Amino acid sequence: MAMGSNSALQNIPKRLRSARSARVLFGDVVYEPGGTCGPRVQGDYQLVVLLAGEARADVAGREVRLAAGSVGLFRPGAREFFRLAERRKTHHTWCSVHPSLVDAPLAAACAAAPDVQPVTRRFEQLMELGLALPRAAGERAPGLLESLGLATLHEYVFAGAGAAAGPDEPDALRRALGWIGQDGHRPVSLPVLAREAGVSPAQLVKLFRRHLGTTPIRHVWEVRTRRGAQLLRETGLTVGEVAFRCGFQTPFHFSRWVRELFGVSPRALRAQAWAR
């Protein structure tokens, strides 16, 4: 989606960053107000991320809308035409993966995935990794670029499968667990977690008790403690540094949770791992 179909000013986008190999392309571009792209036949699996502005895509006669903070999946073989925001610039990034890299199970998952969904933290990080590679990476390390492209496509499918999960895992619970998994160092409280989940604190407590047999805040500290235990085993960080990185206000708070879950102090937990 790097170039428009005519020479009008709005269809001469400003490319900011890109990294490409023969089969994967990461790009970053800004269109002037009123820009368009196409019509064209999509040749790749292309993930388009809207950072600012908006886009409306006609995909084989079906309209797909993208707003800032969302990502759309465009599949090979479809005829597309994009109309971008009329009164403001549209900034988007994209990742194109050639079908020759996509095996049958992933192709089937892409076919079943939603057309558009919110950008996850992991997806954002993968896109940034791809865009941060130097231009020479495509020639010197094409495997790295292609692995990142496939990882980005897998993340989109993975997030989409979660969004389509059934009633056994409610959306609110999934949103809360996603926040807990991604924001391990930020201050947390029941109202904050409930706001991220989109439900009341009382409803969130009910969901955690029903599906996980625990409370939201206890689950937060258990997840953070296990993350801290992993850092103790695998790094030379001090107990205080580990506690800070995992969101504990004091080393004492972290130590108390380590003792509760593992039955020993943080230093003893590390000693056990390092003595093997």
Contact 51, 29 (CB under 8 A): no
Tokens 């001469």 correspond to: 12
The per-residue pLDDT for 165 is 42
Looking at the chain, which residues constitute the CATH 2.60.120.280 domain(s)? 9-163
Helix ranges, the chain (H): 104-112, 121-132, 137-140, 142-163, 171-182, 190-197, 201-212, 216-234, 239-245, 251-262, 266-274
CATH 1.10.10.60 occupies which residues in the chain? 171-274
Phi-psi map region of 61: left, alpha, beta (phi>0 left; psi -120 to 50 alpha): left
Q: Enumerate residue ranges in the chain where pLDDT < 70.
A: 1-16, 162-169, 183-184, 276
pLDDT of residue 118: 85
**Which of the 8 DSSP states describes residue 135?**
T
Please count the CA atoms within 13 angstroms of the CA of 225 that sit on its side-chain side: 22
Greatest CA span in the chain, whole angstroms? Answer: 69
Asked if residues 162 and 123 have their Cβ atoms less than 8 Å apart, the reply is no
Q: Helix (H, G, I), strand (E, B), or coil: what is residue 31?
A: strand
Q: Which CATH class is domain 171-274?
A: mainly alpha
Measure the CA–CA gap between 147 and 97, rounded to whole angstroms. 10
**Two tokens, residue 103:** 């095996």
pLDDT in tens, 48-75: 999 999 999 999 999 999 988 889 999 9
Is this structure's pTM higher than 0.75? no
Please list, residue by residue across 60-98, b when 16 or more beta carbons sit within 10 angstroms of its beta carbon and e when fewer do: eeeebebebebbbbbbbebebebbbbeeebbbbbbbbbb
pLDDT tens across 225-250, in order?
989 998 998 899 999 999 999 999 89
Please identify, in words, the CATH class of the domain defined by 9-163: mainly beta
